[in-house]
Amino acid sequence: MATLTTNIFKLGDSRLLGAKNIDEALKWLNFNKSAIGFNYIYTLKDDNTIIETVGDIDQEGLMSLLSGVQALQSNNIQDAQLIVNNVLTAHPRYSEAYRLKSYISGQLGNYDESLKDIEIAIDCDSSNTLAWLHKGRLYLDIYKKYDEAKSCFEQCVKIDGYMYEAYHDLGLVYLQQLEDLLKISQEGDNEKQYLYEKSYDFFRKSSILNPRYFANYPRIARLQLLHTDFEQCLSFIEETMNWLRANGFCDIAGKEIKILKQIYAEAQSALIKQRKEM
């Protein structure tokens, strides 16, 4: 038996629950240090059954919310919605339930409702980093409000300096700002350089904290392509692909590898063109 001082849902919902035993769960926690240090204490048996909780949520409410997560993973939105609403009826100040409710609203395309729910989640627990992360992604992906998104991601890393997802998303804010600038003007070299450096630094920080957060690698390659560092871009992709193969990550990083190959082809063509013009 082991006691984990953390909030299960702040581990990324299913990753801890998918552990085969306590030792595997603890190993995962040790690897992903951003998971350590949140609000509730759960005591787990070797079969992953939750037998005790310390906090303001009883075992029945927690297990109900877990079933809501499982319904979402099975793409059963209506069941998940019903479960979350029932949990909130019993526990109206449960931050994680509001976070899940916000996610469901977003899946249904109700983005204003999703934003409202995530703001309630943060009001219930201002240290809920995944709520801040979700709010930032709504501002970035849906509303295109870069300053608001940046503020949310900065709040994440202020609370948890090991939160590699938030560093990645900060990099993404600057990358999107750079792409927007390049669409409207080829001038403003100082601003472009600033956006490039900020974005690159955040993606690198994220990849150092968790090398297996594969989303960083196509972002870095994309940045190098935009910065016309074609040879560096090609070299980076080759090194990354070799590392992925050597560590047996090709299957789980399939989507990222596909993007890297596309960027590699673009960088090759751009480099050939550049050399012809010299």
Whole-number pLDDT of residue 96 = 85
Whole-number pLDDT of residue 58 = 57
Question: What count of residues does the chain have?
Answer: 278
Whole-number pLDDT of residue 21 = 45
Q: Give, in words, the CATH class of 1-143.
A: mainly alpha
pTM of the model: 0.80
- Distance between CA 170 and CA 150 in Å, rounded? 6
**8 A C-beta contact, residue 132 and residue 153:** yes
What averages of pLDDT result for each successive group of 10 residues across the chain (278 residues)? 33 40 47 33 39 46 73 84 90 88 93 97 90 96 97 95 94 97 85 96 96 96 96 98 96 96 98 93
Residues ≥6 apart with Cβ < 8 Å to 244: 214, 250, 253, 257
Whole-number pLDDT of residue 191 = 94
Domain coordinates in residue numbering, the chain = 1-143
Q: In what order do the strands lie in the sheet with 41-44?
A: 2-5, 41-44, 50-54
- Distance between CA 103 and CA 87 in Å, rounded? 15
